[in-house]
Amino acid sequence: MPAATPYIAGLIGALLAALLTDWTLIVLSALAGAAAIVSVFVLQPQVEAAGFLALALAGVLVQRNMLARRRGQ
């Protein structure tokens, strides 16, 4: 293994972390919010799963639009 390999891997990792931080936070907060909302209701498992997915998707879409506006896109 060449001596530069750890530095190249570190640089690639740093770039990926910088690019994906916003999206990671968006997805995690949307999942947490959907779980918090769905857990309040007593529902059938299929309805609970569908509600969770719908709320998580809505959360991601809303936050994506907020991110785009903040970046001026």
pTM of the model: 0.76
Tokens matching residue 68: 């785009």
Spatial distance between the Cα atoms of 64 and 57, rounded to a whole number of angstroms: 10
Sequence-distant (≥ 6) Cβ neighbours of residue 41 within 8 angstroms: 48, 51
pLDDT given for residue 59 in this prediction: 97
Neighbours of 63 (CB within 10 A): 18
> pLDDT digits over 31-64, tens only?
999 999 999 999 999 999 999 999 999 999 999 9
| Contact call for residues 55 and 31 (beta carbons, < 8 A) | no
Tokens matching residue 45: 């498992």
